[in-house]
Chains A and B, each alone.
Chain A
Amino acid sequence: MRAPALDEAFTDFVRASTSSLTRTAWLLTGDHALAQDLVQNAYAKTLRAWDRVGGGDPLAYTRRAVVTGNIDRWRRSGAESPVGLGFERATPDAFEDRVADRDRVTRMLATLTPTQRRVIVLRYYEDLTEAQTAEALGMTLGAVKAAAHRALAALRSHYPDAAGPARTPTDTQGGAQR
């Protein structure tokens, strides 16, 4: 029970969810090594609780561990990551514009508060509904709406091509965009 054997269902779950969770972690941290630590630690927590969560929704459990792990890091350091800190350079075969894109998005996300950043990543990368985002972050639905609204307003300047004023996201409530 203390160090459960890696059963097949768990390794299958890890293989199936690694790319999604590591990319979420990368968007939350902007750092390759931190994201790796965060996800491996979250998987370790899931593994310890596998008897309980394995038959249920291990992805939700692990995602929540990723997000709360990230919260811990912010709380410990007392501040969010500085802009562009530890930004991961692209692999040699990647294109220069890919590097520039990553850099732009990482810097843009770093302008958000930690809560806003988590809401944006879960809503627009993980494509969770507002209700699912609220559940994953342990926030109320209203707090998620408010954070998304403020985050979108803050990000608007990065998208001069987007038409119209920043709208409240309430009209897409319930993940109608999915």
Chain B
Amino acid sequence: MNDLEKLLRDDLHDVAGSVDIPVSLEAIAAESAGLGRRASRVRWALVALAVVVMALAVWAGQALLVRPPDRAVPDPLQTPTVTAAPTPEPAPSTTSHTPEPSPSATVGPSGRTTPMYVYYGNEQGGLVRELRQVPAATPARAGALEAMLGTPHDPDYRSLWNPGTQVLGLSKSGDVITIDLSKEALTVNYGSSWEGLMVDTLIWTLTEAFEPTDKVMILVEGRPFTAGHVSFDRPQGRADPSNSPIQVVIDAPVHGATVQSPVQVAGLATAFEATILWTVTRPDGSPVADGVARTAEGMVLAPFAFDLPTLPPGSYVVAVTLDDPSGGAGPAPASDTKVFTVAG
């Protein structure tokens, strides 16, 4: 260190050393609770811009027809606008339709489905999602809720709600969606520590079907939803992207998919340094390939997409894991896996 650096260092330590700024644990706890309910439109917009490009690449890569998003500020987490390719339609058609949740757009001919992201929990306590084909004949949002209450395709995912829960009412006023559930909702499947995640799956699924910036008021038979020790007596929105309950989720390939090599892996992650690690193994666990990829932005929920090396036909498991900033000292970092088959 040279003279200048020494003088500067001494100066900084001298003046800062006399600064005494108290912090309040109560304020931290209140802020922490509030963070989950606040939305940062600025952040959303930034992430959204990056995502539009990625979403185009991802869906084009899967030979699905892509249309530019309809909304002025497209949301990265909103269901992409794609054709419902696997839909059992009367005649093969490439007509694109939007999963826009207005009744006119979602009420289609009998048997039509529309793709919509539905949110579940995983065993690590993270929020995850699956692109589900929900009936377009009923309002798609009702189909999305039914899918959320039902069984996810990925065996690592869990629906956290009592499957016997009925939706008694669903309405929207301003930016507040009000959902009224039957009393079965009070029977929590997985214990009180999962209440926050349980509520998140509902909030994210509903705001997916309406608008991501909306808030959700949950009622059970007309009264504010109370689970264990937490009363959700105010409308709640999605968490700020920097406090996302989604740690890592693979959107593509979907669980059990049969795809052509090269396979593109895409999803969302909240990665400390924007770094994610991936591995490909055979179903018996023998390693095939591994590597490192990056999300669009660190510390916040951001999209990722990368290509796997060319794989011979067969079955594989891809795992995406958050980089562990503790170097193994902490709990196991969040990860998500998908089983897929490369077509011959």
Contacts and interface: CB of A to CB of B under 8 A. Distances in A.
A47 B21 contact: no
Interface of A: 1-4, 6, 11, 14, 18-19, 22-27, 32, 35-36, 39-41, 43-45, 47-49, 51-57, 60-61, 64-65, 68, 75-76, 88, 90-91, 94, 98, 101-102, 105-106, 120-121, 124-125, 127, 135, 138, 152, 155-156, 159, 161-164, 166-167, 169, 172, 177
Interface of B: 1-5, 7-9, 11-25, 27-29, 31-36, 42, 125, 193-197, 199-200, 230, 242-243, 245, 247, 272-274, 298-299, 324-327, 329-331, 333-334
A31 to B, nearest CB: 10
Contacts, number: 179
Contacts of A75: 42
B247 A98 contact: no
Given A45-B35, A53-B330, 12 more contacts: A2-B200, A6-B28, A22-B20, A23-B17, A23-B19, A48-B36, A55-B331, A65-B299, A68-B242, A98-B18, A121-B12, A172-B1
A151 B27 CA distance: 35
A11 B298 CA distance: 26
Contacts of B42: 75-76
A138 B294 CA distance: 12
A3 B32 contact: yes
Contacts of B247: 52
B331 A51 contact: yes
Given A44-B28, A44-B35, A172-B5, A64 B299 contact: yes
Nearest to B270: A49
B125 A35 contact: no
Greatest chain A CB density within 10 A among B17, B197, B272 is at B272
Contact of A36 (B23, B25, B243, B273): B23
A164 B3 contact: yes
B230 A22 contact: no
A22 B23 contact: yes
A112 to B, nearest CB: 11
Given A44-B32, A68-B299, A159-B8, A56 B18 contact: no
B137 to A, nearest CB: 35
A51 B125 contact: yes
Contacts of A94: 18
A52 B299 contact: no
10 contacts: A26-B19, A35-B21, A36-B23, A45-B242, A52-B331, A55-B326, A91-B20, A120-B12, A127-B9, A155-B8
A45 B28 CA distance: 9
A93 to B, nearest CB: 11
Nearest to B298: A138
Contacts of B230: 2-3
Given A3-B36, A162-B4, A40 B24 contact: yes
B193 A1 contact: yes
Contact of B8 (A26, A35, A124): A124
B245 to A, nearest CB: 8
Contact of B243 (A45, A135, A177): A45
A41 B15 CA distance: 24
Contacts of A76: 42
A56 B36 contact: no
A166 to B, nearest CB: 7
Contacts of A53: 325-326, 330
Contacts of B329: 55-57
A13 to B, nearest CB: 11
A163 B3 CA distance: 6
Nearest to B40: A72
A11 B273 CA distance: 25
A41 B22 CA distance: 13
Contacts of B36: 2-3, 48
Given A14-B23, A43-B23, A138-B273, A169 B5 contact: yes
A57 to B, nearest CB: 6
A159 B298 contact: no
